[in-house]
Amino acid sequence: MPDHDQSLWLKTCREHVESHPLTDDLTVDLAVIGGGYTGCSAALTAARSGASVCLLEAQDIGHGGSGRNVGLVNAGLWLPPADIRARLGDEAGDRLIALLAAAPAEVFDLIEQNGIDCAPVRNGTLNLAHSASGLRDLQKRQGQLSATGAPVELLSTPQAAQRTGSAAFYGALFDPRAGTIQPLGYVRGLARAAAGAGAQIISHCQVETMQFDRGIWTLKTQQGKVRAKSVIQATNAYHQGLTTSSPDYVPIYYFQFATSPLPEELRAGILPGGEGCWDTGLIMTSFRLDAEGRLVIGAMGDLGHAGRSVHTAWIRRKLAVLYPQLAAQPLTEGWHGRIAMTLDHIPKITQIGPSALSVHGYSGRGIAPGTAFGRLMAESLLQNDLSKLPVPVASEYRENWTGLRRAYFEAGATLMHFVKTRF
């Protein structure tokens, strides 16, 4: 049985970043806590602006969700535009919608500019209707997205079958702005580029305390201290230590399995355009091909939970339903990651002190939003202009019953997968 804490992306990543230990106390303009998309984007932005930067990561770069996700570079959030406006107001909502519409282009531009080895495929994504009601939802979403100028296209049942190679769907919403990447390769490439611009990248260095005194933050670790004028905390769902600034969210687990590289005769009929996919099911399913031709398929669920065997049995059945020709293909890799989910599915930026910001809650959409948020947070702090932030900054954010809601979601996913394994 595969190790659920070791992702396929870790085994196939070709990007490397030099990390140096914290041997002496440092003084910098900006300290970044967390080596995921947001933190690495912030470090790269700050370093290229001429600021001195130190990024501190408690594990390896990309250890958290940035190295475990599906690798879909999507435009926008899970929420349709009308829901974003309803939560933020028209002005702030439209600003966020426009920012995230352009975010996939920002990701692919960074990949090209920095020569990041992460198998980028900019052929769009397919949001697939799993039922007639799912198709109606996509029709509404398509209308709202088109009204913002998004070049999305609603596909019929035959068109969806042609694009996926599967007869399991009622239609699809195609977004040509999006694409797929090797997600760990991308975040490590960002860190490498940041280091090349002068940022100090320090991994395996957990921040234990933060204190602000006379205009300077002091971050204490077991290896030494970092003094900084400004701080970005970008730990999201993998926060360690620092109980005084721990973000509130509901931890949702998402697992994935992968086949071995498929023989050419099987691979040719599956996703011939190279799109990444996810469906409209309440317990969502995603699937895509990686650069070596593995079929990577996943859904909500914790492989470290008692429901692991249920999730595994269900994913094998789901694979056979989507692609009967793959029913006998072994699943050679299996892993999971944590998502920081907020109640309204809007990312949260909080001011945790003077010139110090924390961000979390991408709710499963971390690649493009994290890249854009990291850039804007760095610019905002270095220019002392919080109006640049992509969402309104809050003094604090609280979620209620996070443990209970996490158990509820895991129980629901396990029950759904148990039932669908047998019927």
Give residue 301's pLDDT: 93
Which one of 3.50.50.60, 2.60.40.10, 1.10.260.40, 3.40.440.10 gives the CATH number of domain 8-124+177-394? 3.50.50.60
Q: Which residue has the tokens 């029709």?
A: 139
State pLDDT tens for residues 190-231: 999 999 999 999 999 999 999 999 999 999 999 999 999 999
Give residue 423's pLDDT: 43
Strand order in the sheet with 172-175: 153-155, 172-175, 125-128, 276-279, 285-289, 295-300, 250-259, 331-341
Give residue 186's pLDDT: 98
State pLDDT tens for residues 4-56: 778 999 999 999 998 888 988 999 999 999 999 999 999 999 999 999 999 99
The CA distances from residue 353 to 33, 51, 211, 229, in Å, are 14, 20, 9, 11
Beta strands in 181-282 (DSSP E): 200-202, 209-213, 216-220, 225-233, 250-259, 276-279
pTM: predicted TM-score of the whole model, two decimal places = 0.96
Query: How far, in Å, CA of 283 to CA of 286, rounded?
Result: 10
Question: Which token pair is 85?
Answer: 């406006």
Q: Which DSSP string corresponds to 346-359?
A: --EEEEEETTEEEE
State pLDDT tens for residues 112-123: 999 999 999 999
* Beta carbons within 10 angstroms of residue 411's beta carbon: 12
Query: How far, in Å, CA of 142 to CA of 149, rounded?
Result: 11
User: Among candidates 242, 204, 251, which has minimal Cα distance to 223?
Assistant: 204
Instruction: Mark 186-219 as b/e (b = at least 16 C-beta within 10 Å).
Output: bbbbbbbbbbebebbbbbbbebeebeeeeeebbb
Kindly tell me if the per-residue pLDDT of 2 is higher than 60. Answer: no
Give residue 1's pLDDT: 41
Q: Could you give the angle at which helices 183-196 and 37-48 cross, rounded to 10 degrees? A: 20
The CA distances from residue 159 to 89, 112, 164, 287, 289, in Å, are 36, 31, 9, 18, 19
Who wins on pLDDT, 3 or 35? 35
State pLDDT tens for residues 75-113: 999 899 999 999 999 999 999 999 999 999 999 999 999
| Confidence at 403, pLDDT banded by 50, 70, 90 | confident
State pLDDT tens for residues 265-311: 999 999 999 999 999 998 899 999 999 999 999 999 999 888 899 99
Give residue 3's pLDDT: 59
**Mean pLDDT over all residues of the chain?**
95
Give residue 39's pLDDT: 98
SS3 state at 174? strand
Give residue 276's pLDDT: 98
Share above pLDDT 70 across residues of the chain, in percent, rounded to a whole number: 99
| Confidence at 422, pLDDT banded by 50, 70, 90 | low
Kindly tell me if the per-residue pLDDT of 65 is higher than 50. Answer: yes
The amino acid at 85: R
Is the Cβ–Cβ distance between 225 and 219 less than 8 Å? yes
- What do you get for the CA distance between the two ends of the chain, in Å? 25
Domain ranges of the chain: 8-124+177-394
Give residue 421's pLDDT: 63
